[in-house]
Amino acid sequence: MRSENVKKGLERAPHRALLHGSGVPKSSMDRPFIGICSSFTDLIPGHSGMRDLERFIEKGVHTGGGYSFIFSVPGICDGIAMGHKGMHYSLPSREAIADMIECVVEAHQLDGVVFLTNCDKITPGMLMAAARLNVPSIFVTAGPMLSGHWRGERRSFVRDTFEAMAKYKKGEIDDFEMSNLEQCACPSAGSCQGLYTANTMACLTETMGMSLPGCGTALAVMSKKKHIAFDSGVRICDLIREDIKPKDILNEKAFKNAVIVDLALGGSTNTTLHLPAIAHEAGIKLSLDLFDELSKKVPHISNLRPGGEFFMEDLDFAGGIPAVLKRLESLIEDNQTVSGLTTKEIAKRAIVFDEDVIRPIDNPYHKEGGIAVLKGNLAPMGSVVKQSAVSKEMMVFKGTAKVYNSEEEAMEAIMGGKIENGNVVVIRYEGPKGGPGMREMLAPTAAIAGMELDKVALITDGRFSGGTRGPCIGHISPEAAEGGVIGLVEDGDEIYINIPERKIELLVSEEELEKRRRNWVKPEPKIKTGYLYKYALNVSSAAEGAIFKKLQ
Distance, in Å, from the CA atom of 97 to the CA atom of 436, rounded to the nearest integer, reads 18
Instruction: Report CA dihedral (425, 428, 432, 436) to the nearest 10 degrees.
Output: -120
Q: Could you report how far apart the first and last alpha carbons of the chain are, in Å?
A: 28
Catalytic pick among 137, 147, 388, 465: 465
How many whole angstroms separate alpha carbon 211 and alpha carbon 221? Answer: 18
Alpha-carbon distance 348 to 371, whole Å?
Answer: 27
Q: Which residues pair with 69 in a beta bridge?
A: 35
Q: Check: CB of residue 438 under 8 Å from CB of residue 274.
A: no
* Size (the chain), residues: 552
Sheet holding 457-460, edge to edge: 371-374, 382-386, 472-477, 457-460, 423-427, 396-404, 494-498, 503-506
Alpha carbon distance 481, 431 (integer Å): 7
**Is position 248 annotated in a ligand binding site?**
no
DSSP state of 395: S
Please name the amino acid found at residue 298. Answer: V
Query: CA of 23: how far to CAs of 9, 106, 311, 331, in Å?
Result: 20, 21, 43, 50
d(CA 310, CA 301): 12
Q: Which of 468, 388, 475, 466 has the alpha carbon at shortest distance from 198?
A: 466
Q: Is 465 a catalytic residue?
A: yes
The region, left, alpha or beta by phi > 0 then psi within -120 to 50, assigned to residue 309 is alpha
Q: Which residues contact 20 (CB under 8 A, 6 or more apart)?
A: 26
Q: What share of the chain is helix, strand, coil (3-state, %, to 5)?
A: 45, 15, 40
- Please list the alpha-helical segments (H only) found in 381-529: 407-415, 442-450, 510-519
Q: What does the alpha-carbon distance between residue 232 and residue 56 come to, in Å, rounded to a whole number?
A: 9
Cα–Cα distance measured from residue 133 to residue 182, given in angstroms and rounded to the nearest whole number: 41
SS (H, E, C) 160-194: HHHHHHHHHHHCCCCHHHHHHHHHHCCCCCCECCC
SS3 category, 35: strand
What does the alpha-carbon distance between residue 124 and residue 24 come to, in Å, rounded to a whole number? Answer: 31
440 is annotated as contributing to ligand binding: yes
121 annotated as a binding-site residue:
yes
- Point out the annotated binding site for Mg(2+): 78, 120-121, 440
By annotation, the residues acting in catalysis are 465
- Point out the annotated binding site: 78, 120-121, 440
